[in-house]
Amino acid sequence: MDICIVHYGEIGTKGKNRAFFEKKLVENISRFAKAKRRFGWIEVEYYEGIEEKLRKTPGIRYFGVGYKTDLDMSAIKSAVLKALPEKFESFKISASRRNKKFPLNSIEINRELGRAVVETTGKKVDLENPDVTVWVEICENFALVYSKRIEGIGGLPVGCAGRVVSLVSGGIDSPVASFLAMKRGCEAVLVHFFNRTLHSAEVRKKIVMLAEKLAEYQGSIKLYMIPFEEVQMEIIRIVPPKLRMVVYRRSMMRMANMIAEKERAKAIVTGDNISQVASQTLDNLNVIYAASKLAVLPPLLGFDKEEIVGLAKKIGTYEISILPYEDCCSLMVAKHPETRARKEIIEEFEEFEELEKSAVEKGETVEVSCSTTEVGSFRR
């Protein structure tokens, strides 16, 4: 194989911004391969294993893996023969002609190439339900030929929508939420709050593993690990158990906003899902989200748990999320938590700003990429 022919969906409809989206996608692909912007598609140099990377790059609807040839029928014919798999019984040629100066139209190209394949291989044409389809795209100065077409994840290139702070717990939901934000073009900065006095080494390992998995979709990812046992202790000291969860989540919101300011992020993403747990009633979400200056986006809003689990399995975070870990929330959970929190009452208890600031300052940042992990300390 010579090249990958990358096609994007939605970017194509973005009018004047199209070039911006295309350049972003080229930039993102360039992190792992040689890529060049063409008219309406992107040319990517092939190497073994690249399929897996392209399959995980947001913004790609599908891509072909095949050959680039000269613009003449005999060159195209041999590329078609090369592109055929070893075993098949029936086939179909599907030509499209972007270059209208090419002497044959697409129906004529289909016929001529079809005839050549029948003569050489003895296989039969089946337009309805072929074992193999060979796509032929006639461009300005060359032709593209491929029989292998792979679905991408769609969406928009990471970064074109700006940056978000995505709150990840060690659970199943929040990594899926981060992924969905990335899929819509957001560059996610991950934030995890943890308690250093509880099994923190294991928790850290697990969260870094989740970040590494998510980095496969984003290229690289910055993770903030915020030790917040002091805030937690203070909450336990002054807030009645029934209200702790909401207070605790509001506190996370405020710290997430502090990080967003440093990172110039424009929104906060959470793994909330309406009514899944007590903290996610509409009354509680209202009170929790009111603690954020920035818009709070919960991409899982309308998903059922099985759908979330299905997606988590598909993107590869599920296996990591189900590893056992000490959830620092469990300290906070009352047997019968408030399901209808009221902001005025909650606010009476909240005097944690200094502790929150200091927790964020003590935070550590980890630069995670799919292959290497560098650990640095965060202080400014």
How far, CA to CA in Å, does 367 sit from each of 122, 222, 263, 278, 377? 55, 5, 14, 33, 10
Query: Hey, which residues between 235 and 264 contact ligand ATP (CB under 6 A)?
Result: 252
Q: Per CB under 6 A, does 277 bind ligand ATP?
A: yes
- Using the rule CB under 6 A, which residue among 110, 169, 218, 232 binds ligand ATP? 169
Query: Hey, which residues between 293 and 352 contact ligand ATP (CB under 6 A)?
Result: 328-329
Smallest gap, in angstroms, from Cβ of residue 42 to Mg ion? Answer: 38
Nearer to ligand ATP, 101 or 335 (CB): 335
Q: Per CB under 6 A, does 284 bind ligand ATP?
A: no
Nearer to Mg ion, 82 or 313 (CB): 313
Smallest gap, in angstroms, from Cβ of residue 270 to ligand ATP? Answer: 4
Q: Per CB under 5 A, does 363 bind Mg ion?
A: no
List all residues 6 or more positions away from 375 whose beta carbon is below 8 Å from its beta carbon: 364, 366, 367
Q: Which does 276 bind (CB under 5 to 8 A by kind): Mg ion, ligand ATP, none?
A: ligand ATP
Q: Per CB under 5 A, does 317 bind Mg ion?
A: no
Q: Per CB under 6 A, does 167 bind ligand ATP?
A: yes
The 3-class secondary structure across the chain, one letter per residue, is CCEEEEECCHHHHCHHHHHHHHHHHHHHHHCCCCEEECCCCEEEECCCCHHHHHHCCCCCCEEEEEEEECCCHHHHHHHHHHHCCCCCCEEEEEEEECCCCCCCCHHHHHHHHHHHHHHHHCCEECCCCCCEEEEEEECCCCEEEEEEEEECCCCECCCCCEEEEEECCCCCHHHHHHHHHHHECEEEEEEEEECCCCCHHHHHHHHHHHHHHHHHHHCEEEEEEEECHHHHHHHHHHCCHHHHHHHHHHHHHHHHHHHHHHHCCCEEECCCCCCCCHHHCHHHHHHHHCCCCCEEECCCCCCCHHHHHHHHHHHCCHHHHCCCCCCHHHHCCCCCCCCCCCHHHHHHHCCCHHHHHHHHHHCEEEEEECCCEEEEECCC
Smallest gap, in angstroms, from Cβ of residue 83 to Mg ion? Answer: 48
Smallest gap, in angstroms, from Cβ of residue 203 to ligand ATP? Answer: 9
Nearer to ligand ATP, 117 or 291 (CB): 291
How far, CA to CA in Å, does 241 sit from each of 166, 232, 291, 295, 332? 26, 12, 20, 28, 7
- Using the rule CB under 5 A, which residue among 58, 114, 155, 171 binds Mg ion? 171
Q: Which does 193 bind (CB under 5 to 8 A by kind): ligand ATP, Mg ion, none?
A: ligand ATP
Nearer to Mg ion, 80 or 176 (CB): 176
- Using the rule CB under 5 A, which residue among 147, 169, 317, 321 binds Mg ion? 169
Q: Per CB under 6 A, does 4 bind ligand ATP?
A: no
Nearer to ligand ATP, 173 or 187 (CB): 173
Q: Which does 24 bind (CB under 5 to 8 A by kind): ligand ATP, Mg ion, none?
A: none
Nearer to ligand ATP, 29 or 312 (CB): 312
Smallest gap, in angstroms, from Cβ of residue 170 to Mg ion? Answer: 7
Of the candidate spans 164-172, 191-199, 202-210, 299-307, the one that interacts with Mg ion by CB under 5 A turns out to be 164-172
Nearer to ligand ATP, 173 or 338 (CB): 173
Q: Per CB under 6 A, does 193 bind ligand ATP?
A: yes
Structure tokens at 22: 């295309």
User: Which chain residues interact with Mg ion by CB under 5 A?
Assistant: 169, 171
- Which stretches of the chain bind ligand ATP, using CB under 6 A? 167-169, 171-174, 191-193, 252, 270-272, 276-277, 279, 328-329
